[in-house]
Amino acid sequence: MNLSWFDLAGFVGVALIVIAYLLLQLNKLPSSAPAYSLLNAIGAFLVMVSLVFDFNLSAFLMEAFWFLISLFGLFRSIFSKSAAASAV
């Protein structure tokens, strides 16, 4: 099996998404934590990078939405904490 750098990027991305989900299920990382959304966003981005070189439309769309939703969660988490801190 001959792996290129983009295959490795995709594997790392999948690992990050799976690790985030595992930590969520083990109650080690809440879904509201910025780290959870960040792991998902980076993972989805790396999978999308690998898909650019070996394209699959349905998988790319899935990862694009996963990435965008993760960014939304990340920004929401960051801004809700800063808003709560300024209200105190």
Domain boundaries, the chain: 17-87
Rounded to the nearest 5 degrees, what angle is found at the Cα of 27, between the Cα atoms of 25 and 29? 95
DSSP single-letter state for residue 27: T
Please state the separation of Cα 2 from the chain's center in Å. 26
Radius of gyration over every alpha carbon of the chain, rounded to an integer in angstroms: 15
Tens-place pLDDT, residues 17-68: 999 999 999 999 999 999 999 999 999 999 999 999 999 999 999 999 999 9
Taking the whole predicted model, whether its pTM rises above 0.75 is answered as yes
Runs of H (alpha helix) within 1-88: 5-25, 34-53, 57-87
pLDDT of the residue at 54: 93
Which of these, 12, 4, 61, lies nearest to 39 by C-alpha position?
12
pLDDT of the residue at 88: 59
Which amino acid type is present at position 12?
Answer: V
